[in-house]
Amino acid sequence: GAGVSQSPSNKVTEKGKDVELRCDPISGHTALYWYRQSLGQGLEFLIYFQGNSAPDKSGLPSDRFSAERTGGSVSTLTIQRTQQEDSAVYLCASSPTGTSGGPPGELFFGEGSRLTVL
């Protein structure tokens, strides 16, 4: 597809269950980001992938959160033993590599995965 694709668009789960959220970035984009947005709030940085480099995991809120990116393309965000405070919209964005070693430019966002933990 032409844009960033995220699935599922909505996920309702019970407390304590594990969930996986998927992001399919724009083809050729080397940078991939995960953000979390709680209701009516701003975006909280979670993790950043750039090419084959080690990911920047500094925003992951706890060790229940993990993410991987296979083959430099599709990414999966996994939340283990979900808690009610994990309820939020999880947004994925991709970006082409920045020039001259600088930061990537425009971020292209998916529509998000809305997670509700009962």
Partner 1 sequence: SQQGEEDPQALSIQEGENATMNCSYKTSINNLQWYRQNSGRGLVHLILIRSNEREKHSGRLRVTLDTSKKSSSLLITASRAADTASYFCATAIYNFNKFYFGSGTKLNVKP
Binding region for partner 1 (CB under 8 A): 4, 31, 33, 35, 41-43, 45, 48, 50, 56, 59, 89, 91, 93, 98, 102-112, 114
Query: Toward partner 1, which CB reaches closer, 58 or 70?
Result: 58
Query: Toward partner 1, which CB reaches closer, 58 or 84?
Result: 58
111 CB neighbour count, 10 Å cutoff: 14
88 CB neighbour count, 10 Å cutoff: 19
Query: Toward partner 1, which CB reaches closer, 41 or 78?
Result: 41
Cβ-proximal residues to 64 (8 Å cutoff; 6+ apart), any chain: 79, 80, 81, 82, 83
CB of 40 to partner 1, least distance (A): 8
CB of 90 to partner 1, least distance (A): 11
CB of 12 to partner 1, least distance (A): 16
CB of 44 to partner 1, least distance (A): 8
Angle (CA) 55-35-89 rounded to 5° is: 140
Say how far apart CA 74 and CA 40 lie, in whole Å.
Answer: 28
Instruction: Show the tokens assigned to 79.
Output: 């939340």
Query: Toward partner 1, which CB reaches closer, 19 or 34?
Result: 34
Say how far apart CA 87 and CA 15 lie, in whole Å.
Answer: 10
